[in-house]
């Protein structure tokens, strides 16, 4: 019997057999390794797909009602949020806390058998509107999305009337379109109820009232109307004709596909402002700025004959002509273009061109667009060569100070001037850092609101005008007209305040609403409602409160009409009613 030998000896004695055995073992090991990696890769891919699907899958529908305990707990937490972050709570009377406790007791009794989220949201909005915070609102987008009912109507404010249309923008009735009753109740009563949901500074905002009237079916709990019945709208005209419309409930789809499409559309809208920043693409500026070219096709004017009625039978029916403004100063209608013309085949943003030989028009919505150097150069040229430059900032928003610095460089004071001040709530540590980025410094003033929840005042100064290159003697300094409105917010309102220190800059139009300050949003735990409120107060150089008061224009459309020819006013692309 042969003597066994070691592996090394066998390898040396039988090299071919040893090599075959080693190769088979390695192949088996390698096959096992690839299979494991493949399984791990597939598992990781499945986990990623599942995670992405969970992000886009419709969220669980929030409860339709809240229990008495949930409402009590949420109101206690809400009171703490207001005391920590609500700037306007510092301006409220000392009895506000006592009134809040009484209201909590009323809500406790009303919710004995539970309360619908829609009714809870309305009653909460009514209570918080007493703070008169223009930025405060309680939003419940989920409740409208999850609603199983909808109505085919919308209400718009037009020529001092509320007009009823369907969701496609067409009149509900061509002969009678003025809303007089909703669900058998006068329109004035609905407006009074809506004003209880708004801060006092927005009671005259007809656009916002019209938007809430378009959700009249959601306001029914405040009037004791059955929310499940058909919506009844009574329409009339100035000839006394009456029309009745019954709008049945239109079921709203809650399929997964429609929910995913809604989330995609919401994501697209939220990313659109980011994609329109100057650092992303300078070509976006033509979308945010409305520049009127000189060569344009003027639409045929709409003739409106205004004559006194001889008798009740001769009264003319209300003519709903779009984009027409009728002033009391000029005895003719201001005919506005139906659409803003676009220059022919031009890849670059179109420069602002004249309305006529002496006037140049520019409309700005996003103030960040003015950070573009090309647009600044265009405005600089207009200020140099046109006697009057009209800048429409009625819908301007954002925190960019590019337009303010550009105008201050030409019209600003010769020395550093106090522009205003602010106080922020101490509940958020980032407020001071944010305000410093907006131009506020730690220089404090003696006169300020003293409150435990508010900081000392931070001041903001208008820098001194820098030296400008000398212009030809024949060129007179330009005159600038800033057109403001209720939607002029944030830095836009500071622009209107700075115009007080610029000798050749006038502010015309409607007053702003005082929405300049810091804001913060909170998510309420049980109702899933979103609370948005102001966390700072702003003052002008005279220590007059700007927040919730706004800036009143020195001149209105009538003043502009008396100082400018009607031929010019007919060219202005104004879409809002006169102030």
Stretch 515-537: mean pLDDT: 91
Pairing of strands 115-116, 185-186: unpaired
216 in the same domain as 303: no
pLDDT in tens, 64-92: 889 999 999 999 999 999 988 999 998 88
Q: Judge whether 26 lies within some domain.
A: no
User: Where is pLDDT greater, at 306 or 481?
Assistant: 481
Q: What is the pLDDT of residue 242?
A: 93
Does 260 score more than 80 pLDDT? Answer: no
Does 256 score more than 90 pLDDT? Answer: no
Q: Judge whether 485 lies within some domain.
A: yes
User: Where is pLDDT greater, at 272 or 513?
Assistant: 513
CATH classification at residue 347: 3.90.226
Pairing of strands 505-509, 479-484: parallel
478 in the same domain as 351: yes
240 in the same domain as 297: no
Tell me the pLDDT band of 567, cut-offs 50, 70 and 90. Answer: very low
391 in the same domain as 297: yes
Pairing of strands 388-392, 324-326: unpaired
Q: Judge whether 48 lies within some domain.
A: no
Collapsed DSSP state (helix, strand, coil) of residue 14: coil
Structural domain total, the chain: 2
The answer to whether 81 and 522 are in contact (CB under 8 A) is yes
Pairing of strands 479-484, 388-392: parallel
Burial label for 28, CB within 10 Å (0-12, 13-18, 19+), is exposed
Q: In the chain, what is the greatest distance between 2 CA atoms, to the nearest angstrom?
A: 139
Tell me the pLDDT band of 563, cut-offs 50, 70 and 90. Answer: low
Number of C-alpha atoms within 13 angstroms, CB side, residue 542?
Answer: 6
pLDDT in tens, 114-159: 999 989 999 999 999 999 999 998 987 544 333 445 678 899 999 8
- The pTM assigned to this predicted structure is 0.68
Q: Judge whether 86 lies within some domain.
A: no
Stretch 312-317: mean pLDDT: 39
CB atoms within 10 A of CB 409: 15
User: Where is pLDDT greater, at 195 or 433?
Assistant: 195
Ramachandran angles phi, psi of 363, nearest 5°: -115, 130
CB atoms within 10 A of CB 461: 15
Give the range among 21-25, 271-275, 341-345, 563-567 with minimum mean pLDDT: 341-345
Does 261 score more than 90 pLDDT? Answer: no
477 in the same domain as 364: yes
**What helix, strand, coil percent values describe the chain, rounded to 5?**
35, 20, 45
Tell me the pLDDT band of 391, cut-offs 50, 70 and 90. Answer: very high
Tell me the pLDDT band of 351, cut-offs 50, 70 and 90. Answer: very low
Tell me the pLDDT band of 344, cut-offs 50, 70 and 90. Answer: very low
379 in the same domain as 305: yes
493 in the same domain as 359: yes
Does 177 score more than 80 pLDDT? Answer: yes
Measured distance CA(480)–CA(488) in Å, rounded? 17
Question: Which position has the token pair 């390695």?
Answer: 26
Collapsed DSSP state (helix, strand, coil) of residue 209: helix
Q: What is the pLDDT of residue 441?
A: 82
Whole-Å CA distances, 232 to 182, 184, 242:
6, 7, 13
Q: Judge whether 116 lies within some domain.
A: no
pLDDT in tens, 183-234: 999 999 999 999 999 999 899 899 899 999 998 988 998 998 888 888 999 9
CB atoms within 10 A of CB 61: 11
Give the range among 26-30, 212-216, 294-298, 483-487 with minimum mean pLDDT: 294-298
Stretch 547-575: mean pLDDT: 60
Provide the domain limits for residue 378.
289-310+329-416+463-513+550-579
Highest mean pLDDT among 25-34, 359-368, 421-430: 359-368
CB atoms within 10 A of CB 518: 22
Q: Classify each residue of 152-165 as buried b or exposed e, where b means 16 or more C-beta atoms within 10 Å of its C-beta.
A: ebbbbbbeebbbbb
Question: In this structure, what token pair is assigned to residue 1?
Answer: 């019997």
CA-CA-CA-CA dihedral for 162, 166, 170, 174, to nearest 10: -60
301 in the same domain as 244: no
Q: Judge whether 193 lies within some domain.
A: yes
Q: Which of 201, 222, 251 is the last residue of a domain?
A: 251
Among residues 517, 513, 549, 516, which one has the least CA distance to residue 535? Answer: 517
Q: Judge whether 319 lies within some domain.
A: no
The answer to whether 374 and 285 are in contact (CB under 8 A) is yes
Tell me the pLDDT band of 35, cut-offs 50, 70 and 90. Answer: confident
Q: Judge whether 324 lies within some domain.
A: no
Query: Would you give the distance in Å from CA 325 to the centre of its chain?
Result: 25
DSSP 453: T
Number of C-alpha atoms within 13 angstroms, CB side, residue 366?
Answer: 18
| Cα torsion 435, 438, 442, 444: sign | negative
Stretch 508-523: mean pLDDT: 91
Question: Which position has the token pair 């209880």?
Answer: 196
Measured distance CA(95)–CA(37) in Å, rounded? 69
Give the range among 43-52, 150-159, 410-419 with minimum mean pLDDT: 43-52
480 in the same domain as 333: yes
Residue 561's H or E segment, with its range, is helix 557-563
490 in the same domain as 566: yes
293 in the same domain as 225: no
345 in the same domain as 488: yes
Measured distance CA(527)–CA(140) in Å, rounded? 9
Residue 232's H or E segment, with its range, is strand 231-236
CATH classification at residue 205: 2.30.42
Q: What is the pLDDT of residue 568?
A: 52
């Amino acid at each position: 019997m042969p003597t066994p030998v070691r592996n090394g000896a066998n390898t040396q004695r039988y090299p071919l057999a040893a090599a075959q055995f080693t190769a088979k073992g390695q192949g088996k090991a390698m096959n096992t390794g690839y299979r494991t990696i493949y399984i791990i890769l597939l598992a990781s891919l499945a986990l990623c797909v599942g995670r992405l699907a969970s992000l886009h899958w419709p969220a669980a529908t929030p409860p339709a009602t809240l229990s008495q305990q949930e409402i009590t707990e949420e109101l206690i937490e809400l009171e703490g949020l207001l005391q920590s972050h609500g700037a306007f709570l510092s301006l409220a009377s000392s009895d506000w806390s006592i009134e809040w406790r009484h209201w909590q007791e009323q809500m406790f009794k009303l919710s004995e058998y539970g309360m619908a989220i829609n009714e809870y949201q309305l009653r909460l909005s009514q209570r918080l509107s007493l703070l008169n915070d223009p930025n405060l609102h309680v939003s419940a987008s989920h409740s409208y999305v999850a609603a199983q009912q909808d109505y085919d109507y919308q209400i718009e404010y037009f020529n001092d009337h509320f007009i009823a249309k369907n969701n496609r923008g067409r009149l509900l009735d061509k002969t009678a379109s003025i809303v007089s009753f909703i669900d058998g109740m006068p329109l004035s009563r609905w407006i009074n109820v809506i004003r209880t949901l708004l801060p006092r500074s927005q009671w005259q905002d007809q656009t916002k009232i019209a938007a809430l009237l378009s959700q009249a079916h959601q306001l029914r709990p405040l009037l004791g109307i059955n929310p499940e019945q058909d919506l009844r709208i009574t329409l009339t005209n100035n000839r006394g004709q009456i029309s009745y419309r019954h709008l049945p409930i239109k079921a709203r789809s809650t399929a997964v596909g429609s929910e995913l499409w809604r989330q995609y559309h919401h994501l697209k809208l939220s990313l659109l402002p980011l994609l329109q920043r100057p650092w992303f693409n300078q070509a976006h500026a033509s979308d945010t700025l409305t520049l009127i070219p000189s060569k344009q096709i003027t639409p045929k004017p709409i003739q409106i004959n205004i004559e006194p009625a001889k008798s009740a039978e001769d009264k003319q029916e209300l003519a709903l002509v779009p984009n027409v403004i009728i002033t009391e100063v000029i005895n003719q209608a201001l005919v506005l273009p139906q659409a803003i013309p676009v220059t022919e085949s031009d890849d670059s943003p179109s420069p602002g061109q004249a309305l006529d030989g002496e006037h140049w028009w520019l409309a700005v919505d996003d103030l960040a667009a003015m950070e573009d150097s090309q647009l600044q150069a265009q405005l600089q040229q207009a200020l140099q060569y046109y006697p009057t430059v009209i800048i429409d900032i009625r819908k301007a928003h954002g925190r960019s100070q590019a337009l303010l610095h550009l105008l201050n460089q030409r019209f600003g004071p010769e020395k550093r001037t106090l522009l205003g001040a602010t106080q922020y709530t101490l509940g958020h540590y980032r407020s001071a850092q944010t305000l410093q980025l907006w131009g506020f410094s730690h220089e404090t003033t003696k006169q300020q609101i003293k409150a435990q929840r508010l900081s000392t005042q931070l001041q903001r100064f208008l820098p001194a005008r820098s030296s400008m290159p000398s212009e030809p003697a024949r060129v007179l300094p330009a005159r600038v007209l800033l057109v403001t409105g209720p939607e002029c917010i944030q830095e836009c309102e500071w622009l209107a305040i700075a115009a007080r220190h610029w000798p050749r800059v006038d502010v015309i139009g409607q007053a702003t609403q005082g929405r300049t300050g810091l804001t913060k949003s909170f998510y309420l735990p049980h109702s899933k409602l979103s609370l948005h409120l102001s966390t700072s107060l702003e003052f002008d150089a005279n220590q007059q409160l700007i927040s919730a008061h706004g800036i009143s224009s020195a001149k209105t459309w009538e003043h502009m009409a008396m100082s400018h020819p009607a031929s010019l006013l007919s060219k202005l692309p104004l879409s809002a009613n006169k102030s």
